[in-house]
Chain A
Amino acid sequence: MRIFLLLGGFFSSMITALPATAQVPAGTAAPTRLVRRWYVPQHAVLQAAGGIGMVSGGVGYGLFRKRLEVDALAGYVPRRYAGREALGIFTFKTTYTPYTIPLRNAAWRLHPLSFGGLVNYTPSRTLNRSRDEKYYDGYYWWSSTVRFGAFVGGRVARQLKPSSNGQPREVSLYYELGTNDLYVVSLATNLSGLKVTDVLTLGVGGKFAF
């Protein structure tokens, strides 16, 4: 569970360090406010577990007043937990966060519900692919490298001092309870033999909007 401490440490250091470092150094000219180009990511993500890597990190964009977020992440599972060779996992994820509850301290906000979906690709050389030339078409109906997932979760966010060019900034921590297509198929075909908790995964992470 060292990973929790690492993540916690990373984001708490961000919360404390960033407002200070964001101050304009004395003696320099006030920067002109820059309009962010559309392709420049609006936030960075770091996640632990959740089926997309022991750790995964990436960037993303917020849409519709940041209620909808779209992230691209690269994840890593070290060799020790993958068998013969480490796994890399590339994930596209979209999260919808409909509600915002302001807290007594104006800097903090609670997002009690998030839900979303993801698709990922695991291109490891050591993964025995279910759709290569060893098989005729339809031998295995699923892909062993592409997974689809869905999740629900929640989030707590803290506003930070805006950046020197006036961009609002925020750091948030989230959790996600999720599952994937193959687990859902297993559950749906075994309603008495499997429990919902059998097919759940848990992920925790943080986002830094800049």
Chain B
Amino acid sequence: MNFTMLPFARPAVLSAALALLLTGCELFEFSPNDVRAPAAERDLTAKNLQRLLAQPKPTGGDTLRFVFTGDSQRFYDEVGPLVESVNRQRGISVLFVAGDISDFGLRREMQWINDRLRHLNVPYLTVIGNHDQVANGRQAYQQIFGPLNYTFTYDRTRFIFIDTNSREYGFNGRVPDIGWLRQQLADTVGVRRQIVVCHVPPTNEDFDPALIKPFTEALAQAPCLLFHLNGHATSFSIGEPYADGVTYINSFAFEKRQFVILTAWGTDQFKLEKVAF
């Protein structure tokens, strides 16, 4: 042993050991179904909302511009290019993921997505998908992201994120929570437009058949609904399936290597752009 090396070697060895210990702690997994995550990777919805509400809006006037994506489930190769592409867009306030963040409902999958999406220049928000509810996924989602139903107002736009994954609850008649949705849609103080974001659309067989009518009626009667955003189908679509004035937009899944930019202005105007990455 060369003793003159020791003063230099020691800090290197110590920091290597420390790094090993830290990664060791993350590898030290109790179960793929456990919900144990470091504080920095918990309550991401609340943290990202706080970031969104604190940042100055990058577009002027009543214009609001955001990225709409969905179904990131097990498409990790695509997340990096998506983040790079979104970071090159101008005037974006926020990015939405319309559910199915994970494929198997595992906590680590949600952390993998966050590890990559946190490199966005803008905050991102999610709604829970059906894949995020299998196994212990609902608990993991609540731990990593937060509430299953939540709402906030940004630029006088009321966003309502709602769990519509009825099949995961065995069509128990309580998901989606119609009463909660009606209540949120009725609260229009300081609101010029409303946007509903969910995973399973009412046109899909995984949506509780008994709740299709009350759900679509609530949307059709909403005072200033701009559109309904959902994922679940991996291909993009836009339409008015119930011919009741409500526009339903399905996101591109990450695997499609495309995303949508929505630009809203006025009370009922919007523009949709598709971006390939």
Report the minimum CB–CB distance from A193 to chain B (whole Å).
3
Report the minimum CB–CB distance from A151 to chain B (whole Å).
12
- SS of A interface (majority): loop
Instruction: Determine if A82 is an interface residue (Cβ-Cβ < 8 Å).
Output: yes
* Residues of chain A within 8 A of B104, CB atoms compared: 142, 144, 182
The answer on a CB contact under 8 Å between B30 and A83 is no
Report the minimum CB–CB distance from B261 to chain A (whole Å).
23
Distance between Cα atoms of A133 and B167 in the complex (Å)? 10
Residue in chain A with minimal CB distance to B133? A128
Distance between Cα atoms of A49 and B34 in the complex (Å)? 11
Report the minimum CB–CB distance from A59 to chain B (whole Å).
21
Report the minimum CB–CB distance from B188 to chain A (whole Å).
35
Distance between Cα atoms of A203 and B35 in the complex (Å)? 17
The answer on a CB contact under 8 Å between B74 and A126 is no
Instruction: Determine if A197 is an interface residue (Cβ-Cβ < 8 Å).
Output: yes
Given known pairs A81-B34, A193-B76, the reply for A140 and B134 (CB within 8 Å) is yes
Instruction: Determine if B38 is an interface residue (Cβ-Cβ < 8 Å).
Output: no
Residue in chain B with minimal CB distance to A89? B31
Q: Which of B106-114, B153-161, B173-181, B217-225 makes up part of the contact surface?
A: B106-114
Q: Mark A79-90, 1 if CB is under 8 A from B, else 0.
A: 001111001010
Contact check: which of B35, B134, B143 meets A144 at CB < 8 Å? Answer: B134
Report the minimum CB–CB distance from B217 to chain A (whole Å).
26
Number of interface residues of A (CB under 8 A): 49
Residue in chain B with minimal CB distance to A83? B139
The answer on a CB contact under 8 Å between A87 and B27 is no
Number of interface residues of B (CB under 8 A): 41
Contact check: which of A77, A84, A128, A197 meets B168 at CB < 8 Å? Answer: A128
Contact check: which of A81, A140, A182, A197 meets B23 at CB < 8 Å? Answer: A197
The answer on a CB contact under 8 Å between B135 and A130 is yes
* Residues of chain B within 8 A of A202, CB atoms compared: 24, 27-29
The answer on a CB contact under 8 Å between A54 and B136 is no
24 contacts between A and B (CB under 8 A): A77-B31, A81-B30, A82-B33, A82-B35, A82-B136, A83-B142, A89-B31, A122-B31, A126-B139, A128-B134, A130-B135, A140-B134, A144-B104, A144-B135, A177-B27, A186-B76, A193-B78, A193-B116, A194-B76, A198-B112, A201-B27, A201-B28, A202-B24, A203-B28
5 interchain residue pairs of minimum CB distance: A83-B139, A193-B76, A144-B135, A193-B77, A202-B27
Which chain B residues have a beta carbon within 8 Å of chain A's beta carbons?
A: 23-25, 27-36, 74-80, 103-106, 108-109, 112, 116, 133-140, 142-143, 167-168, 170
Q: A82-B136, A126-B139, A128-B138 provided; 20 other pairs, C-beta below 8 A?
A: A50-B29, A51-B31, A77-B33, A82-B139, A83-B140, A83-B142, A87-B33, A87-B34, A87-B136, A89-B31, A122-B31, A134-B167, A134-B170, A140-B134, A144-B135, A147-B32, A180-B32, A194-B112, A197-B27, A203-B28
